[in-house]
Amino acid sequence: MFQDVVKIYVEAGAGGNGVVAFRREKFIPFGGPSGGDGGRGGSVYLETDPQMTTLMPFRRKRHFRARHGGHGEGSKRHGASAEDVIIKVPLGTVVRDAESQEQIADLTEPGEKLMVARGGKGGFGNAHFATSTHQAPRIAIEGEPGENHWLVLELKLLADVGLVGFPNAGKSTLLSRISAARPKIADYPFTTLEPQLGVVDLGDTSFVAADIPGLIEGAHQGAGLGHEFLRHIERTRVLLHVVDGSSPDPLRDYHAINRELALHNEALQSREQIVAINKVDMLEVKERLPDIMASFKKEGVKAMPISALSGEGVDELMRHVGGRLETIPREAHGEGYKVFHPRGIKKR
């Protein structure tokens, strides 16, 4: 199963308390202060793991707490610092504050680490306060409390190419042909219920393509499956728009999907888009193809005819996609790659 939004609670450990103690040994009846400091509480970190692909593990555990630091002891023995808690998350995880919905960070690099709850400092023991004029202090400081937050983790897939189009346009069939991915394929709407990733190998280069579950009109408002998965399109450098050539009006379908993308995120209007007219292996589509191509050309859209089922035109399409990707840097849509540091949460 695929899970792309979860809410978790993180709580760092409190620092240990300092202690009031005095040196009491044989022949040294009035020894000086010897109270040790408390140890630091454990902090909580998020760390990206390239092996993870979903947020499913958080369905079983959503509360993460670090241990408290140890208390100080006599003979100037400091309390032990607690171990930090490391929470593994997939690449492409966006971290938000659950209350304000403010974006805290966008974790896109392998092994990237972010402190989300800082452990409390340990308190000072009375040995810390001894001076030449105050040689027997009887004060000690309690440890600081650790930070705690409710966070929302949102996964946005890191893919170079996003396959978009109406249900049954042939996106899953195309992905299975161009990569080793094996999505479920059937002749009914919403066969694909979760995003699918596949690596396309062109010999001298490769890229990651994502099959986004079928969109329908009203997807930006939650209709169909679009509301759940539109976020995964935002990171892609190129959109591969698969149009069903057997549709009564392919051009209308093309415009309908683009409206949904724009209503979800205006930035998608300027995203590089390559259009493929699919199902040209069907006789009725072959007969209509000149008219379909002419209608797209009239709109200033260059469309490429393909058959995801038979493979006709697919190699040429992939070479075209690979060529376009070479001209678009990965940071081209850098909004999703910025990292934010609100007060109390710092990147390490």
Q: Would you state the torsion angle of the CA atoms of residues 40, 46, 49, 50, taken in this order, to the nearest 10 degrees?
A: -150
Instruction: Return the DSSP state at 171.
Output: H
Q: What is the pLDDT of residue 228?
A: 59
Q: What pLDDT sits at residue 244?
A: 94
Sign of CA dihedral 222, 228, 229, 232: positive
- Predicted confidence at residue 314, as pLDDT, reads 94
CB 226 within 8 A of CB 190: no
Kindly write down the DSSP assignment for every residue of 91-147, as one continuous string: TTEEEEETTT--EEEEE-STT-EEEEEPPPPPPPPGGGG--SS--S-----PPPPPP
Superfamily covering domain 161-330: P-loop containing nucleotide triphosphate hydrolases (3.40.50.300)
**Chain-centroid distance, C-alpha 236:** 13
Only one residue has tokens 């199902």, namely: 279
Can you tell me the distance from the alpha carbon of 249 to that of 102, in angstroms, rounded to the nearest whole number? 42
Instruction: List every span in the chain annotated with CATH 2.70.210.12.
Output: 1-155
pLDDT at position 341 is 41
**Residue numbers in the chain where pLDDT is lower than 50:** 1, 183-192, 217-226, 332-348
**Residue spans in the chain of domains classed CATH 3.40.50.300:** 161-330
Torsion of CA 175, 228, 267, 181, to 10 degrees: -10
Q: Which two tokens stand for residue 27?
A: 């022949």
Per-residue pLDDT at 336:
40
Residue 210 has what pLDDT? 83
Which token pair is 176?
Answer: 């299975």
Q: Which CATH superfamily is domain 1-155 in?
A: GTP1/OBG domain (2.70.210.12)
pLDDT of residue 106: 87
What pLDDT sits at residue 182? 54
Residue with tokens 């659950």: 98
